[in-house]
């Protein structure tokens, strides 16, 4: 294996690290991602490969064996990983983001149990979304306290990696539903706890080897010591320590595949000859490539600005939503143009464009739809009070 962040003194050597990572992505991650997509089968090689290279602990603090990168140092590396598409981007995004919830709100016992092994190939899961409601205060899952245990009941769905996950961050009501956000808590549930069932809902459009499961809790007994933070803090923990910065990661996850699709389109346009000339010499194709480059440059600039301001502790909830919104809209325009430039063969799975085109559709939903992002932005534009991002 030719790459490890351990070979680099990050962040001093970020540029050389990014170049070496690009090579690792092309030689190690791309072939595995393509094979997993083709076979539609999860590979147990992926987590160990990425963890060995240090890619699952880039933002994890050094005291827990991570690299402790700031967002400004992290995003150029996530951009490279995301060029491999959804199956590799998902683990990097999840592992480099979810640790913050236990780090910020966990007891010493929880930190020892979950964070001391975080840099390894362990797989955490985040469970908020529900089939009958949405992703906010209208959730229905409850945890009722009985002695030293909570009894969990309810159903989650679209839960990434639930089949391979070792522990779940479950967002649920511990208090009266009339309390709204103040009744919501977060409970850590170890996989295979009796009363927990995982169901495969079927194949998804993107990241073909990955799955997003239905998770049912039926009188599932969880020790009270598994409560993260205090009762009533659940939504705050989810938003401030995971979902808000994670929206920025989704924007970065849009940037990587877009840059890759531009690179593939440029190479293809130079090679593909019709009527005696490479299509790259046709003005119509040049205009598409130019528009793709403009979108990508704008997105990269927005991300860099947001990351810098997030690291400086500024309130950037609106700007992060702008990045996520612009990111998914960029994937739509760039993936359409990339497919058109490739012609019909672009829709065949021998071509990476086909995989990336499908994969980027998932990013529309993760961490909130475009409507949710527009709502956050509109509130700010209208001068209404907005939540702060950061702690």
Ligand X SMILES: Cc1cc2nc3c(=O)[nH]c(=O)nc-3n(C[C@H](O)[C@H](O)[C@H](O)COP(=O)(O)OP(=O)(O)OC[C@H]3O[C@@H](n4cnc5c(N)ncnc54)[C@H](O)[C@@H]3O)c2cc1C
* Smaller CB separation from ligand X, 26 or 369: 369
User: Residue 346: exposed, middle, or buried by beta-carbon count in 10 A (0-12, 13-18, 19+)?
Assistant: buried
Residues 165-224 that bind ligand X (CB under 6 A): 212
Cis peptide leading into residue 127 (ω within 30°): no
Rounded Cα gap, residues 237 and 110, in angstroms: 15
| DSSP bridge pairs for 221 | 151
* Smaller CB separation from ligand X, 100 or 366: 366
Using CB under 6 A as the binding rule, whether residue 129 contacts ligand X is answered as yes
Asked if residues 249 and 78 have their Cβ atoms less than 8 Å apart, the reply is yes
Rounded Cα gap, residues 57 and 369, in angstroms: 27
User: Which listed residue (127, 152, 189, 239) binds ligand X by CB under 6 A?
Assistant: 127
User: Residue 313: exposed, middle, or buried by beta-carbon count in 10 A (0-12, 13-18, 19+)?
Assistant: exposed
- Shortest distance, position 184 Cβ to ligand X, whole Å: 13
DSSP state of 187: E
User: Which listed residue (283, 371, 382, 384) binds ligand X by CB under 6 A?
Assistant: 371
* Smaller CB separation from ligand X, 102 or 159: 159
Using CB under 6 A as the binding rule, whether residue 7 contacts ligand X is answered as no
Using CB under 6 A as the binding rule, whether residue 227 contacts ligand X is answered as no
Which sign, positive or negative, has the C-alpha torsion 75, 375, 170, 132? Answer: negative
- Among the options 12, 79, 367, 385, which is catalytic? 367
Rounded Cα gap, residues 391 and 208, in angstroms: 36
Contacts of 92 (CB under 8 A, 6+ apart): 50, 55, 56, 58, 78, 81, 82
Residues 336-365 that bind ligand X (CB under 6 A): 362, 365
* Smaller CB separation from ligand X, 139 or 299: 139
User: Which listed residue (126, 168, 173, 217) binds ligand X by CB under 6 A?
Assistant: 126
Using CB under 6 A as the binding rule, whether residue 155 contacts ligand X is answered as no
- Shortest distance, position 290 Cβ to ligand X, whole Å: 31
User: Which listed residue (87, 158, 355, 376) binds ligand X by CB under 6 A?
Assistant: 158
User: Which listed residue (87, 128, 338, 341) binds ligand X by CB under 6 A?
Assistant: 128
| Choices 57-65, 127-135, 253-261, 344-352; region in contact with ligand X by CB under 6 A | 127-135
* Smaller CB separation from ligand X, 134 or 313: 134
| Choices 26-34, 39-47, 61-69, 157-165; region in contact with ligand X by CB under 6 A | 157-165
Count residues binding ligand X (CB under 6 A).
17
* Smaller CB separation from ligand X, 265 or 331: 331
| Choices 153-161, 266-274, 283-291, 305-313; region in contact with ligand X by CB under 6 A | 153-161
> Mapping DSSP to helix (H, G, I), strand (E, B) and coil, where does residue 369 land?
coil
Residue with tokens 């393509």: 34
Residue with tokens 């309390």: 179
DSSP string, 19-34: HHHHHHIIIIIHHHHH
- CA dist 73 to 13, 64, 341, Å? 10, 18, 33
Contacts of 194 (CB under 8 A, 6+ apart): 220, 221
Q: Is 271 an active-site residue?
A: no
User: Which listed residue (7, 193, 369, 390) binds ligand X by CB under 6 A?
Assistant: 369
- Shortest distance, position 342 Cβ to ligand X, whole Å: 24
Using CB under 6 A as the binding rule, whether residue 159 contacts ligand X is answered as yes
142, containing H or E segment: strand 142-146
User: Which listed residue (228, 366, 373, 389) binds ligand X by CB under 6 A?
Assistant: 366
* Smaller CB separation from ligand X, 159 or 280: 159
Using CB under 6 A as the binding rule, whether residue 100 contacts ligand X is answered as no
* Smaller CB separation from ligand X, 107 or 369: 369
Nearest partner of 144 among 220, 45, 70, judged by Cα? 220
DSSP state of 218: E
Using CB under 6 A as the binding rule, whether residue 97 contacts ligand X is answered as no
Residues classed as catalytic: 367
Applying CB under 6 A, which residues contact ligand X? 126-129, 134-135, 158-160, 212, 362, 365-366, 368-369, 371-372
């Amino acid at each position: 294996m030719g790459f490890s962040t351990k070979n680099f003194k990050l962040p001093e050597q970020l540029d050389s690290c990014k170049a070496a990572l690009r090579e690792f992505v092309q030689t190690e991650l791309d072939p595995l991602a393509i094979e997993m997509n083709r076979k539609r089968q999860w590979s147990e090689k992926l987590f160990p490969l990425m963890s060995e290279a240090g890619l699952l602990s880039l933002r994890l603090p050094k005291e827990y064996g991570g690299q402790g990168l700031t967002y400004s140092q992290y995003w150029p590396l996530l951009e490279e990983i995301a060029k491999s598409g959804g199956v590799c981007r998902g683990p990097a995004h999840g592992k480099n983001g979810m640790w913050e919830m236990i780090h910020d709100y966990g007891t010493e016992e929880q930190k020892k149990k979950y964070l001391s092994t975080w840099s390894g190939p362990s797989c955490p899961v985040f469970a908020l979304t529900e089939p009958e409601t949405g992703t906010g205060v209208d959730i229905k899952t409850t945890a009722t306290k009985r002695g030293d245990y909570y009894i969990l009941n309810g159903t989650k769905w679209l839960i990434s990696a639930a089949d391979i996950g070792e522990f779940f961050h479950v967002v649920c009501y511990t208090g009266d539903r009339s309390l709204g956000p103040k009744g919501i808590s977060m409970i850590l549930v170890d996989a295979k706890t009796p009363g927990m069932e995982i169901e495969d809902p079927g194949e998804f459009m993107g990241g073909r080897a990955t799955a997003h499961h239905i998770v049912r809790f039926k009188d599932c007994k969880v020790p009270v010591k598994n409560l993260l933070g205090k009762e009533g803090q659940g939504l705050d923990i989810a938003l401030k320590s995971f979902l808000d910065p994670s929206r920025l990661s989704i924007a970065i996850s849009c940037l990587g595949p877009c840059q890759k699709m531009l690179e593939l389109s440029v190479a293809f346009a130079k090679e593909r000859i019709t009527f005696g000339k490479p299509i790259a010499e046709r003005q119509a194709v040049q205009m598409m490539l130019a528009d793709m480059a403009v979108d990508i440059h704008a997105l990269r600039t927005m991300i860099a600005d947001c990351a810098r301001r997030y690291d400086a502790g500024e309130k950037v909830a609106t700007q992060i939503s702008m990045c996520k919104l612009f990111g998914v809209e960029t994937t739509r325009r760039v993936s359409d143009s990339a497919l058109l430039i490739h012609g019909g063969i672009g829709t065949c799975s021998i071509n990476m464009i086909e995989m990336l085109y499908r994969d980027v559709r998932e990013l529309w939903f993760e961490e909130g739809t475009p409507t949710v992002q527009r709502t956050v932005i509109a509130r700010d534009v209208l001068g209404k009070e907005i939540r702060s991002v950061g702690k």
